Chains A and B, each alone.
Chain A
Amino acid sequence: KNEVEQSPQNLTAQEGEFITINCSYSVGISALHWLQQHPGGGIVSLFMLSSGKKKHGRLIATINIQEKHSSLHITASHPRDSAVYICAVRGLYGNKLVFGAGTILRVKS
């Protein structure tokens, strides 16, 4: 079992829909990252969380430390949100990120 599990693996949505991507992890962590990767390579760091909730524009990220679970929500989705969304965690004493396999999101117009 991977230390970081994401669901779903693939997600297709219609423009305007509310989208949720989930991340579960099995170890104690010091921080959790949500990353976005568009076709062509570049990765953008969306959020870094250690507790609670963060919001940036149409994106919301939440984390429940007790349940070892985080969600990334996209409100009013748009085709330009189509990308791979990756959850990554840093362990309590580690100096490396452990990545999930990613969720491929496609938003259709």
Chain B
Amino acid sequence: DTEVTQTPKHLVMGMTNKKSLKCEQHMGHRAMYWYKQKAKKPPELMFVYSYEKLSINESVPSRFSPECPNSSLLNLHLHALQPEDSALYLCASSQTAPGLINEKLFFGSGTQLSVL
């Protein structure tokens, strides 16, 4: 199994809603990532978890709250989002901790989020 699975694929939410994005991998990877991608732009790193601990937070607003319940699962909890948060949210994983040289990233298909 070389897949990173993200659910849901599409999500529409209002600014007062609370929702969660889910990411799962069963490759035994110990690093997991959340990226945000606006249309026609490259992905922007949001968070990195290494061995289930948050190792990087790229100054992301607190309305985005990541959680790593175990080594296979990564969640992104959303609350009081703004319309400008509408984007594709991509999850990725890698075998080793970030910063090691020979690290290949495996990406999920993303969740397309629309905030109304």
Question: Which A residues have a C-beta under 8 Å from some C-beta of B?
Answer: 30-31, 33, 35, 40-45, 48, 50, 86, 88, 90, 93-97, 99-102
Contact = CB atoms under 8 A, between A and B. Distances in A.
B58 to A, nearest CB: 8
A99 B98 CA distance: 16
Contacts of B105: 33, 45, 97
18 contacts: A30-B101, A31-B101, A33-B104, A45-B104, A48-B104, A50-B102, A86-B42, A88-B42, A90-B101, A93-B99, A95-B48, A95-B55, A95-B56, A95-B99, A97-B105, A99-B42, A100-B42, A101-B41
B110 interface: yes
Contacts of A43: 43, 90, 92, 107
A20 B98 CA distance: 30
A48 to B, nearest CB: 5
A93 B103 CA distance: 14
A7 to B, nearest CB: 15
A96 B103 contact: no
Interface residues of B, number: 25
A90 B100 CA distance: 10
B84 to A, nearest CB: 19
Contacts of A42: 107-110
A79 to B, nearest CB: 21
B90 A41 contact: yes
Contacts of A88: 42
Given A41-B110, A43-B90, A95-B56, A31 B103 contact: yes
Given A31-B102, A42-B107, A99-B42, 7 more contacts: A41-B112, A50-B101, A95-B55, A95-B98, A95-B99, A96-B48, A99-B43
Contacts of B55: 95
Contact of A44 (B45, B98, B102, B107): B107
A31 B101 CA distance: 7
A56 to B, nearest CB: 13
B51 interface: no
